[in-house]
Amino acid sequence: MTYRIQTFYPEANGFMNTNHTSESLEDLKALCESETFTGFRVHIVDDANHVVFEPASRERKGVPTIQDIAEMLNVPIRDKFEPRD
């Protein structure tokens, strides 16, 4: 079974997928509780989109940077002139 971390998107009043997936629920739990997700509301879902873990939200000091958000979503930051693969 593959698990995925999702983050709450307030403007849509729902959760959206991040690119963090694993067959190890324990690995994703540890990641959710890491500094990467401080300040973000997240949960982990299974293949059937059932929530299997939802850690308590932790307050972040300050506003997340673009780098913080990209790391949380597990996406690269690209220069608009950089060619895509």
Does residue 47 form part of some domain?
yes
Evaluate whether residue 81 is within a structural domain: no
In a domain, 22, yes or no: yes
83 lies in some domain: no
Partners of 38 in the β-ladder? none
DSSP structure string for 34-48: SGGGTT--EEEE-TT
d(CA 73, CA 8): 11
Number of domains in the chain: 1
25 within a domain of the structure (yes/no): yes
- Which domain covers residue 67, as residue numbers? 3-73
Q: For 38-60, how does the pLDDT look when each residue is reduced to its tens digit (9 = 90+)?
A: 999 999 999 999 999 999 988 98
pLDDT of residue 47: 95
Contacts for 16 with CB less than 8 Å, ≥ 6 apart = 6, 7, 9
Q: How much is the pTM?
A: 0.84
